[in-house]
């Protein structure tokens, strides 16, 4: 049974709808016009008759900020990337926290994307849109919140990522390798192409082989273990890092990036990130004559397209091979 009541207040005239039907929670909504109230009532009653009505009261009452905090504390906290994602979620909460879930529509996400592209890189915005999508998916899958408009983030086109092609010069590498704090981390990254998270999580039992020329990484970004051949320089760097554990070099991934940036500043090196060393290593492997399968075995890239993103060959390195 549905009732529509006219309510006159100082703010104006409102039409309050109340719908009660056995088997469903009561539905109530206010409208500015009688026509809107009648249209809403007819639509909801028809859905109830067909047993396809889903209550959107939770989506109307809960804000995106509340949902994101719930996702952070109940879902994300159990995932491997929690330490990193808990920081990535903060700008999202800051910008979208005031929206009720019922109002999180594609144009809201599009506006968020546009505004964030003025502040951060396309790759960062792409990751944030992915996180928004996972939060909205959790609303229905994990928390039982019906979103009438669906997952709005899946309907917004992701920004095009721009691949960095910054490679350190030979002089820059020598300066960084000589740095007391991060030098050995730089050497290991250049010699192996390992990610910073993999490097800081090295343990003595990961070094295998009679000649200590192999490094087993049991937990990688893709959760696929791989074995990396170690050069003599890489072995020396690993030895130093393992001996330094418990002292100044016992750092986390984000701390390593910050230490690297400070080292760059000390040596007047600009626009260079620790992750660029992975690009440098991958490109260097090809320049030294390794084939695609050999490089992917070392770096862990699972597709040619990913290898291409990380590879920026120096034309001069090809001259001898072309002349030959």
Catalytic residues: 195, 221, 275, 278, 301, 310
Residue owning tokens 């490094």: 215
* Beta-carbon count within 10 A of 81 CB: 11
E strands in 90-231: 207-208, 214-217, 226-229
DSSP codes, 231-269? PHHHHHHHHHHHHHTTTTT---HHHHHHHHHHHHHHTT-
Q: Are 53 and 59 in contact (CB under 8 A)?
A: no
The whole-angstrom separation of Cα 72 and Cα 30 is 33
Q: Collapse the DSSP code of 153 into the 3-class scheme (helix H, G, I; strand E, B; otherwise coil) and give the result.
A: helix
What are the beta bridge partners of residue 68?
Answer: none
Q: Are 44 and 19 in contact (CB under 8 A)?
A: yes
58 CA to centre of own chain? 27
Burial 122-150 (b: 16+ CB within 10 A, else e): eebbebbbebbbbbbbbbeeeeebebeee
The whole-angstrom separation of Cα 261 and Cα 248 is 17
The burial class, CB within 10 Å (0-12 / 13-18 / 19+), for 51 is exposed
* Beta-carbon count within 10 A of 41 CB: 20
104 CA to centre of own chain? 20
Of the candidates 76, 73, 97, the one whose C-alpha atom is nearest the C-alpha of residue 85 is 76
């Amino acid at each position: 049974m549905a009732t529509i009541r006219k309510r006159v207040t100082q703010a104006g005239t409102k039409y309050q709808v109340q719908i009660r039907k056995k088997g469903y929670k009561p539905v109530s909504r206010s409208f500015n016009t009688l026509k809107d109230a009648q249209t809403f009532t007819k639509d909801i009653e028809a859905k109830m008759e067909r047993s396809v009505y889903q209550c959107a009261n939770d989506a109307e009452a809960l804000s995106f900020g509340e949902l994101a905090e719930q996702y952070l504390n109940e879902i994300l906290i159990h995932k491997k990337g929690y330490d990193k994602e808990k920081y990535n979620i903060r700008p999202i909460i800051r910008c979208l926290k005031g929206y009720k879930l019922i109002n999180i529509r594609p144009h809201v996400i599009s506006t968020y994307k546009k505004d964030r592209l003025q502040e951060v890189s396309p790759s960062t915005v792409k990751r944030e849109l992915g996180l928004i999508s996972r939060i909205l998916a959790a609303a229905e899958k994990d928390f039982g919140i019906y979103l009438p408009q669906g997952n709005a983030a899946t309907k917004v086109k992701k920004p095009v990522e721009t691949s960095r092609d910054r490679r350190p010069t030979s002089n820059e590498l020598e300066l960084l390798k000589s740095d007391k704090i991060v030098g050995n981390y730089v050497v290991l990254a250049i010699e192996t192409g390992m990610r910073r998270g993999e490097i800081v999580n090295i343990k003595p039992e990961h070094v295998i082989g009679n000649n200590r020329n192999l490094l087993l990484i049991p937990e990688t970004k893709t959760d696929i273990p791989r074995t990396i051949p170690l050069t003599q320089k890489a072995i020396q760097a690993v030895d130093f890092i393992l001996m330094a554990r418990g002292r100044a070099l016992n750092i986390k991934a984000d701390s390593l990036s910050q230490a690297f940036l400070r080292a760059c500043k000390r040596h007047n090196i600009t626009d260079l990130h620790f992750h660029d060393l992975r690009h440098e290593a991958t490109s260097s492997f090809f320049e030294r004559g390794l084939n695609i399968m050999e490089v992917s075995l070392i770096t862990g890239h699972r597709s040619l397209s990913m290898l291409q993103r990380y590879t920026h060959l120096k034309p001069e390195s090809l001259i001898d091979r072309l002349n030959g």
